[in-house]
Amino acid sequence: MSNHAQPSVNPFAAQQHHLRERLRHFLAILHPVLHVDVVTALEAEGKLLSHAATSVDSPPAGLWPLLTLLVAQSISPDMNPICAGNVAVAVECFVCAIDLLDDVIDEDQTSTLQALGVARTLNVSTALLTLAQQAILSLSQQNVAPELILRLLTTLQESALMTTAGQHWDVLVEQRPAQSFTQEECIEIAAAKAGSIMRLACRLGALCAGADDVLCEQFSELGELLGIAHQLDNDSHDLYYLLQGDTSALGSAQAERNVKTDLVRGKKTLPVVLAANMPGILQSSSSPADEEKEGHLRALQQGVITTWGICLLYRERARDRLQEIEAQKPVAPLLHLLLGFE
């Protein structure tokens, strides 16, 4: 189930078609030996070139570039669609590159990693990061002011560094005991990873549409809050289904493997950290084994519910931010639909 009342006809079909056309334009510059592997990565589930049929509950292919495009078109409905499309394609390439690096670092056995192996995957990631910059630089051919191009590129670079720092932080903390973590640190990591990527998707859309600084910041914050909520939603539901023994709800065997890999690698997700810091539950070493196991389970369940609550809190904050934006001008209905707010 999802809270998105998505009709059976794909409402984003026209935008996806435009984005795919723009993406193929940039892919055409790649050498054939590289082109085929880059396309493989961009055809993965959820990516813009995915062949998977859209079901009522599944996200539309190319969710991230759609967000950038719809933010831009909502702010400036008459803006040059090639410009908006190219900036959105930069986001798709950037997110795909970061996802590939994340998969390699976490040793997730995704379909792309299985098909390409580590060496080719890393090379594809490099190509995609370069294509992201290329897509923004191409705006000069559309008579976009050099100052704006520089601002867009700077935003992309800042986000790349923030996301990389978040990923590095996430790797470093694998060696630390969960008890040494705080709720704040977990949320800071979520903000640096998922938060910064969604912040980028919204900010680039607002920037390229000529939004003023205040509106750019409002859309950036909206994106960051939604990104953090998304990460906490995943963390709480993944662990919840695992505790329930309902791994089919994770969506795929690959998703189940990834969740287990996260636990084995010692990822400090918020529910795990909250459970580890619950007084008198996980630290108890004097209780018999069964009682201790039950205590662990109760603590994890409580950690899951608390994380879900904090996720809802971030979602509420995002809703407040959207209302501030809409107090000036309502956002386009398609953007509303994509954001998932009633």
CB of 155 to other proteins, least distance (A): 20
User: Interface with other proteins by CB under 8 A: which range of 144-152, 160-168, 254-262, 299-307?
Assistant: 299-307
Nearer to other proteins, 237 or 267 (CB): 237
Tell me if 133 contacts other proteins by CB under 8 A.
Answer: no
Stretch that binds other proteins, among 82-90, 124-132, 203-211, 314-322 (CB under 8 A): 314-322
Q: Which of 308, 322, 331, 335 binds other proteins (CB under 8 A)?
A: 308
Binding to other proteins in span 263-292, by CB under 8 A: 274, 278
Distance of CA 46 to the CA centre of its chain: 11
Give the burial string for 80-104 (b: 16+ CB within 10 Å, else e): eebbbbbbbbbbbbbbbbbbbbbbb
Rounded to 5°, angle at Cα 64 from 63 and 66 = 65
Among residues 74, 236, 258, 269, the one that binds other proteins under rule CB under 8 A: 236
Residue 338 lies near other proteins (rule: CB under 8 A): yes
- From 18-26, 118-126, 168-176, 316-324, give the range in contact with other proteins by CB under 8 A: 316-324
- For other proteins, how many residues bind (rule: CB under 8 A)? 41
Window 193-212: residues binding other proteins (CB under 8 A): 198
CA torsion through residues 147, 151, 152, 153, sign = positive
Q: Which of residues 77-106 bind other proteins (CB under 8 A)?
A: none
Q: Which amino acid is at 200?
A: L
Distances (CA, A) of 91 to 12, 135, 234, 286, 341: 17, 9, 22, 52, 22
Residue 287: which residues within 8 A CB-CB, separation 6 or more?
A: 295
Give the integer Cα–Cα distance in Å for 305 and 244.
13
Give CA–CA dist 278/30, Å, rounded. Answer: 53
- DSSP per position, 19-64: HHHHHHHHHTTS-HHHHHHHHHHHTSTTSTT--PPPPSSSPPTTHH
Per-residue x/- track, 2-31, other proteins (CB under 8 A): xxx---------------------------
Q: Does 255 bind other proteins (CB under 8 A)?
A: no
C-alpha to C-alpha distances, 190 to 183, 228, 230, 287, nearest whole angstrom: 11, 6, 9, 34
Question: What region does 109 belong to: left with phi over 0, alpha with psi -120 to 50, or beta?
Answer: beta
DSSP state of 332: P
219 in contact with other proteins (CB under 8 A): no
Instruction: For residue 187, state whether it binds other proteins (rule: CB under 8 A).
Output: yes
Closest contact distance (angstroms) between CB of 234 and other proteins is 8
By CB under 8 A, is residue 310 in contact with other proteins? yes
24, 25, 317, 336: which one binds other proteins (CB under 8 A):
317
Residues 156-185: x where in contact with other proteins by CB under 8 A, - otherwise, as a string: ---------------------------x--
Q: Which residue, among 191, 81, 206, 198, has the nearest Cα to 152 in the 3D structure?
A: 206
Choosing from 79, 165, 313, 334, the residue that interacts with other proteins (CB under 8 A) is: 313
Nearer to other proteins, 87 or 250 (CB): 250
Dig out the tokens for 269 from the structure.
């997700």
Q: Applying CB under 8 A, which of residues 192, 219, 306, 325 lies at the interface with other proteins?
A: 306
Name the residues that contact other proteins, by CB under 8 A. 1-4, 57, 59-60, 63, 183, 187, 198, 226-227, 229-230, 233-234, 236-237, 240, 244, 274, 278, 298, 302, 304-306, 308-313, 315-317, 320, 338-340
